[in-house]
A and B are shown apart, each in its own frame.
Chain A
């Protein structure tokens, strides 16, 4: 630490205040008090860990809720084991139907906004961006800290909403009116939900402003866009989508909140609104999905980027078609803005629109196909190292491939009309968005653990965690698609009240068993995480033998990351170069005649 040059120049008149104040001019001494070091920290690495803990906590809550949902479907009318009597004394431990609705609503909301977003964007973004571009922190550290604490406020509100009279929101994570209006969802639960998501959106926008500006401005000298690890391409595109489309959601939520609280009629149809003039419930769906479709790419883009890097890192080969991958990801981000209508085929859109949305959606499969083939091209004839992060990356390739293929059936309007609102959809989006981002998130944690704590996570436990999660997850979501194909609707408490679904009980019980296994496997992870922090084998600075900048500094990463800001001469994936014989990777910051680009 003492080697860092703490001298600095002129104007600090407005330093430390204001939205866009930044560390432009000087290094702060490392904070020493508990509050400034661990709680209200400006350090991107601390904020990353805060987001990680936050996301893991909520992920646990969300996962427990999915277990409860699946219990209802596997054991209808049976009391929930262990904690059932504690939670539902009035029904002798049986999960009541209205609470079931609250469960899937909260599960979806929590998993997307409070588990995956904090982990794959809040944690991964904060941790990797400055380290991978050779910077000492984010461009706007204060904004970064604020983003985390607004997330905490939003989480606290959501938690509180679970305990208010008449219970938490129970209208689905999509919060469609008219059901979401106060006449049909009484009580403060859903209004609190709206405010909570409003705050979560605000926090994400703050983060996005930071990520975008940081990646544009703080790349180390010499780091061209094509020297950027693909992880950062993913995070960069995600942030742009966040900055542009979250405000659409927040505007929609705001209007809905005003409808509920002040009696306006934006989303009330003519026959229901008092004055007989027309609001429009479908308008809400437009606003929601203008945001909602980009949102699925928001959680998957960082995962794509990360996996693209991991496949190269652990095959010891340059990423196949780096440029094509980056361009494809960009193309998808742009296309993601104009396909949202595929969520609304059953609302009576005009045939012209439905065919347009079908075509545009199917167009996405071209860039997706390109980078997917690039992934396979990267693996092809690589010297594959099955490290734990690599296992998760390859698992993600599998689940995403499966989920992506089944998306075609939903994109085509003719099949969509039959599959809409069935478990086929649930299986599909869990494979693409949920399972894929989840697996990538775990990959990121195993990967960066040594840089965070200076120790490795236990490999054997990691392998157990992987297989005991991956196999059940694939089974669970495949079988959900089967159930949906057989006609099982989503969001129903007891499917077996319908004769034609009774034969699905067995299938749903098998899914339940798989869920129990997958859930238990996460305990292995938690154990591994906490024990390895203290007892894992010491990792050294570069345990994975990589050339990206974060592996050129000690582990755990020191307070100001880089003693001296590196200069970049090489791309992120320079592996197995025939001219370098003493090792199989080239650091981004070393100059090798005939290989490196001249730094301009």
Chain B
């Protein structure tokens, strides 16, 4: 049976990796579309941000970008240690990545508050529409990603988890992906 299902073996990607790869291609199209919409709408405006609107704050968003990069780094090491059989370090790094993820969400919420306090309202035209939407849609994906993150965190504490399990790696891929999306979004929204 095992032989049968590995009918077309391939050294580069395992089956589950292949599935994840296709799924991430889909997600890439989703976020590209959102960012493209932003760029196209923005291309129609003569001034950006519109007159009387303050540009987005740089401190909080830069901080959250750093945090998300660190979080990705922690996940990366966690998966590395897991592969080397260092279960305990793997768990610590995983939980650190998860905690940083929570900090990221906290910072994003503060960032949104800041926008709100500046008087930005979603119904007030494209500037607010875009910023709120991109940040919140991304944030919701991050929040949903916490479910597998927590699940893996629990599994890493469980000695019966097989050392060949691919779940930590696949989950980390998705996490890296979300981090990357945020970095791009940040660059386009805040610095472009």
- Residues of chain A having any CB pair with chain B under 8 Å: 5, 7-11, 13-14, 18-20, 22-27, 134-136, 139-140, 143, 205, 208-210, 212-213, 216-221, 223, 243-248, 250-252, 254-255, 258-259, 262-266, 273-280, 283, 286-287, 290, 562, 565
Contact = CB atoms under 8 A, between A and B. Distances in A.
B123 A11 contact: no
25 contacts: A5-B1, A20-B170, A22-B5, A135-B5, A135-B7, A139-B5, A205-B23, A209-B19, A209-B22, A217-B5, A219-B7, A223-B7, A243-B25, A243-B26, A247-B33, A266-B41, A273-B125, A275-B124, A277-B126, A278-B44, A278-B126, A279-B41, A283-B40, A565-B4, A565-B7
Contact of A23 (B5, B8, B148): B5
A284 to B, nearest CB: 9
B165 A11 contact: yes
A279 B22 CA distance: 32
Q: Is the interface of B mostly helix, strand, loop or mixed?
A: helix
A115 B34 CA distance: 29
A24 B2 contact: yes
Contact of A280 (B26, B44, B122, B123): B44
B40 to A, nearest CB: 6
B133 A264 contact: yes
A8 B41 contact: no
Q: Which 8 A-B pairs have the closest CB atoms?
A: A263-B123, A277-B125, A565-B4, A264-B129, A251-B33, A13-B162, A275-B125, A247-B30
Contacts of A212: 18, 22
B19 A140 contact: yes
A213 B19 contact: yes
Given A18-B167, A212-B22, A243-B25, A25 B45 contact: no
Interface residues of B, number: 52
A208 B22 contact: yes
A24 B23 contact: no
A247 to B, nearest CB: 4
B29 A8 contact: no
B114 interface: no
Contacts of B167: 14, 18
B18 A247 contact: no
B146 interface: no
Given A24-B5, A280-B40, A264 B123 contact: yes
B37 interface: yes
B8 A209 contact: no
Contacts of B22: 208-209, 212-213, 243
B5 A251 contact: no
Nearest to B162: A13
A224 B65 CA distance: 46
B177 interface: no
Contacts of B8: 216-219
Task: Summarize A's interface: helix, strand, loop or mixed.
Answer: loop
Given A25-B2, A218-B5, A213 B15 contact: yes
Nearest to B165: A14
Given A26-B1, A266-B129, A255 B19 contact: no
B132 interface: yes
B41 A283 contact: yes
B161 interface: yes
Given A13-B165, A24-B5, A217-B8, A274 B41 contact: no
Contact of B133 (A24, A25, A255): A255
Contact of A274 (B27, B30, B44, B123): B123
Contacts of A134: 7
Nearest to B132: A264
A244 B25 contact: yes
